[in-house]
Amino acid sequence: MKTPARVLGLVLATVVTFIAGSGAAFADAPTGGAWPEGEGRSVLDTIILFGGGTVGLFIVVALFGLLTARNNYVPPAPSTELEPVGDHRPAHH
């Protein structure tokens, strides 16, 4: 399969998915008393809904970062001891 065919397939799949998913948007709304008007949301309710969700998400991410943080190994400072000059034996591990 060549690249233009792949791109065309992706575009076609995107268009078909968009049309199928937006079918509910073209449906007729009920008229009369079948769908009564609900109470509107106040400005404070909207701020709490969107602002609270955003702040809550920041808190969840921060807690996840704190829970998964770990202490990295810090090697000890180099020693000032010198190796004997005449000792050329291999180190045994």
How far apart CA 51 and CA 45 sit, in angstroms, is 10
Give the DSSP per-residue string, 2-42.
-HHHHHHHHHHHHHHHHHHHTGGGGSPPP-GGGSPPPPPPP
Q: What is the pTM of this model?
A: 0.36
pLDDT in tens, the chain (93 residues): 788 899 999 999 999 999 888 877 777 666 666 677 778 888 999 888 888 889 999 999 999 988 888 777 788 888 777 766 666 677 776
The domain spans of the chain are: 42-69
